[in-house]
Every structure is written in C-alpha cells, then in structure tokens.
Chain A
Amino acid sequence: GQNIDQPTEMTATEGAIVQINCTYQTSGFNGLFWYQQHAGEAPTFLSYNVLDGLEEKGRFSSFLSRSKGYSYLLLKELQMKDSASYLCAAMDSNYQLIWGAGTKLIIKP
C-alpha cells in the first residue's frame, strides 16, 4: 500500500533549527512536496524534490533520498510565524498526491 509517515508534533525554540522527517512508500514516484498550513487556512507550497539531494530556499531547505524513501524539511532561524502544520506529500505514478497527516510545529520564545 501507499503510506506517508511523519511525526505528529514537534516543539522548537525561536531562533533555533528544526528538521521534520518524512518517509514514504508509493506506487511509483514523481516527486516529494512539502506544504505549510496555518490553522484554518489552505496549504501553501514550500518545496518540490524529485532528484536526490538538498534544495535550499532561504530559511527552508528540503532533502530527498529516493533510494531510502526519505525526505526532510529543515527550517533555520525559526520565527514565531513558523508555527504551523507541515505536510509531506509524495506523488505516485498516477500523479496523485499521497498526503501525510502533517507535523504540527510549535515554536516557543
């Protein structure tokens, strides 16, 4: 079956670094997405990885290892506004997104 695993909740301190991990199993693979979702709002796109390696975009970076079925989202210099849920989603061979349940990130001062 198809499955995405990510931690339910993480807590970090303002100004610190946090890494949110995601493992996936899909029928075929056409890329791994990370989305940010604040409570009551629609998700917003953060990153897309289809090749192995690290993609850096400002304070956020995303890593993918296709052989391990593993990705992580790295957030640096955490700000209070980064408190949100972070959704990992893998695209299968039919171009359907398989979503994780999301990781709720709590930032403390």
Chain B
Amino acid sequence: GAVVSQHPSWVICKSGTSVKIECRSLDFQATTMFWYRQFPKQSLMLMATSNEGSKATYEQGVEKDKFLINHASLTLSTLTVTSAHPEDSSFYICSAREGGLGDTGELFFGEGSRLTVL
C-alpha cells in the first residue's frame, strides 16, 4: 500500500522555540494532506487541510499563525509549530490522499510525531 513518512517521530523542545514536522508521500502524489492532533485519551482532531500549491484551510479554533502549514509539492507538507508552549505538547499526525482518478478516499497516515514542550 501507499506509504506516508513523517519526521521526526519524537521531538523535545524548549518553550518559545519553533518545531517543524515533515510529512512525505513516498510512492504517490498527494494532492491533499491533512494534519491532526491527538491529546491523550482523546480522538484525532483535524487541524487543517492542505492542498498542494494553495493555502491551508484551518479548522475552527486552530491558530493559523501558530501552526504554519506548507504544501509546496505533491509529496511534501510541513507543519511548523511556532513559539511552542507546554500546552502544545501533543501527538501530531499527518495523512495524505492521492486525489484524481486514483482516489478511493482512503487516507494514508504518517507514523506520527510526539511533541513535548518543556
């Protein structure tokens, strides 16, 4: 099946610093990528939807200036958590959809990135 790679898997940073998480589709072109956040014992929460070459669409309550999303190519999307604070500590997961005629609607998930802000 299709593979989505997410990096880094684990990151610890100091409060006030910025962290970038990468999401790559390795064997298909992802026209749409989704970024999710999951707090302990809670379900996945969609943060934003990004389409290649256009601005991301953020869900209500998600600060676009704090969570910068870039989807510059059909195989790479990045999420940058700017000026991270301890409350941003969470599990961040990306998923990708192929789009076009090959789109079955199936989402392919990255491995997730666990962010801990000290």
Contacts and interface: CB of A to CB of B under 8 A. Distances in A.
B105 A100 contact: no
| Interface residues on chain A, size class | 20 to 34
B105 A45 contact: no
A102 B109 contact: no
Interface in A32-51: 33, 40-45, 48, 50
Interface of B: 1, 6, 32, 34, 42-46, 49, 91, 93, 97, 104-112, 114
A33 B42 CA distance: 18
Interface of A: 30-31, 33, 40-45, 48, 50, 87, 91, 95-97, 99-102
Interface SS of chain A: loop
B107 A33 contact: yes
A40 B34 CA distance: 19
5 contacts: A33-B105, A33-B106, A41-B112, A43-B109, A96-B46
B46 to A, nearest CB: 7
Contacts of B112: 41-42
